[in-house]
Structure 1
Amino acid sequence: MTRGQEYVASVFEKVKAQNGHEAEFLQAVEEVFDSLIPVFDKYPKYIDENILERLVEPERIVSFRVPWVDDKGQVQVNRGFRVQFSSAIGPYKGGLRFHPSVNQSIIKFLGFEQIFKNSLTGQPIGGGKGGSNFDPKGKSDLEVMRFTQSFMTELQKYIGPDVDVPAGDIGVGGREIGYMFGQYKRLNGYENGVLTGKGLTYGGSLARTEATGYGVVYFAEQMLKARGENFAGKTAIVSGSGNVAIYAIQKLHELGAKVVACSDSSGYIYDENGINVETLKQLKEVERARIVQYIEHHPNAHFTPSSSDNNIWTVKADLAFPCATQNELNDADARALVRNGVIAVAEGANMPSTLEAIDVFHAAGVSFGPAKAANAGGVAVSALEMAQNSGRTAWTFEEVDSKLYNIMKDIYENAAAAAEEFDAPGNLVVGANIAGFLKVAEAMSAQGVI
């Protein structure tokens, strides 16, 4: 056993002992740790400085109650979180997730992944994440406003344009960001750069809405180029039907692919003519409706309720984009995709594929784009929004989209180069982990033991 292997194993045992009940966090840590062994063998100074144990422990975790009043006049209480994981290369940056599944393990795994994702963008932003177990589904606008105002009343103590800049995630869109920005402004005065994902009338950036979906497609385009392929004539499936999925579908269609299926938590729709993006936007962005209503507009499409043996991953396609939530694609799903001839998988959601599923893809020679690289477009454009806020300027859609494309191309090239350097050619999981880690490790080393 090399010194690097011994070090990584010992730190992981300590992480398991201290966080044994946090399954999602441990999954994210294990996936990263396995990739970093050759880095510690090559750079033993990072062992001497105990970089790994320092990095895996958040700089700060805040947990707080969020009391609010529903439309019936009843007092409700939810739990809020903010994990500020690493500020080695810049202010904490990461989204807020409002979903019943949110707990400390979920927020920690997301924040840990965010460190490497943000590093890969080349922007000066550190890693953080936050959220609440509040469910905005089925709530009125007034209920969402009361909740978000209460949430921000506590969160505002810990954030700021040069300290921690949250954005949206699952359950947090333009409506929620607007209410939170208003409450922050009420309490602190106008600070334009305290949140990203803002509306265009008060400091938001063009192309921010599209950024994660467009970015995952731009990353997949680079993977296909490496195989001598392109999108023309390819079929694709995209799980989810939220912001990331909608704009991934839109960009795939623009580049010549045909997306034949997408989903929500109730099931999936299949449309052999290609998913109609305008219908999807109307249902999900305007009406906040369920995906089954798509067939009311397109009777030739089919809806299938989701089950363990009949989900979107059973649909035959050349390309797959898991864009819904963590661990939505397991090893059985991966084998189904491989049997159906998939050649590339790019993750639009955070950690949507299990470790076993990733192993299946690699063994079958499927090009695999891990989330921390492939879905970094959203946070990359959030950083561009921060830059525009700081400079009191605004770029055109085309300017931002061009910058996004180049950032995603650079992420792919840097991940591919790191994989090649550390004897894992073509393995973008290893490459993304190493490329993201090295920048953060160099910064931590330079700044001393803090």
Structure 2
Amino acid sequence: MAMNSKPLRNIYNVTRLNREVRTILDTGFPLIWLEGELSNLACPASGHWYFSLKDDHAQVRCAMFRTRNRLLRFVPRNGMQVIARAKVGLYEPRGEFQLVIEHLEEAGEGALRQQFEQLKNKLNAQGLFAAEIKKTLPHIPKRIGVITSPTGAAIHDVLTTLKRRFASLEIIIYPVNVQGKTAAADIATTIQLADKRKECDVLLLTRGGGSLEDLWSFNEEVVAQAIFNCAIPLVSAIGHDIDFTIADFVADIRAATPTAAAELVSPDTKHWSQQFSGFQKRLIQLITNSLSQKQVRIDQVTKNIVHPKHYIEETSQRVDELLYRLQNRIKTQVSTKELQLSSLQTRCHAHNPKYKIQVSKQQTIQLFQKIKAAQIHQLDVLKQQFIRNTSILEAVSPLATLNRGYAYVNKVNSNAIIKDITQIESGDELITTVAKGKFSSTVTNKWTED
């Protein structure tokens, strides 16, 4: 049977192809510097930036993630000429060739950046950055020298931090120009002066943040040589934590900020207080143990010796005991007398005429109020009773009867009311009373009802 002589084919899928190409790009290219014009800038809500870098004949897509772009000191715009430090790669999902930007700067800084790198390599080759020549900072400096602008924000941060951490430190400020054409020479001369005068235990070279041009005086070789030749330990704190200058590499220690530099050169009062407290406890313990051992030895030697001091101590102890008892006795008696005095004062207050008058006055007022209330109540009761009795009397009053058309009759000179015909005779003069008035009459006849 004939054998198939065709070779096996290694067939890629798209995912595999893109992944292997990306691996080749990631491993085959180092970080590169690239100059071009920025265009198609997009800044979505994620914080990442996406744009293109182009020249007259080509362009390439770029991505700069927010962890890197937030470190920039300028705001990029379309049409701006920039220099980028980038990693060559491939965006696998779309198979697009792109650069991942690690750093971005305006193209105007390119020449300065090149000078920086050249001087950095030169001084490194001369050994100015060697770790073994770095000087150690003193643990507790007596005096600190600060080389900076006397009007900048850095001096305020440094002085505030030093005062907070160790207020008793002496500080000498060496004023210099930190920016401008003469700044580098001024800084170098001041470092040499501070080193010559030997007034300080440590020097702090600092200024606030700024652009590469603003910080350039600290990238001059004259400043680097002055720092290298300085016998006093020197700490640099130039700009912010993202700013690096030649002075930072030559200095014995580099701090990210002026505040951090002040913390490096100054002891912490709280920390040293804790240290001294620990030393004090250990010393007290050592002395106590030593005294205890000595006392044991003394006790062994004097165990069988009766010394006059023993009797003196016993007598002294007895006196102390009696004094203590006497003091307690006096305190008890004083307390008792105070209680008795308080009781007497209370009793005297109760029998005080003024107090009694005041109490009687209060009682009189209360009784008067009660009597007045009782009188008012009694008057109300009597008034109601009078009204009821009046109503009753009016109901049975002869006047009420008269008002209904009746009358009553009595003889002249007699108040007896005539109720029966037998009480009168013919010729008697009578007085008849009606509701509104009286009239007289004479009896002419009388008769009875059958």
TM-score (norm 2): 0.25
Higher relative contact order (CA 8 A, sep 6+): 1
Which one has the largest radius of gyration? 2
Normalised by the size of structure 1, how large is the TM-score? 0.25
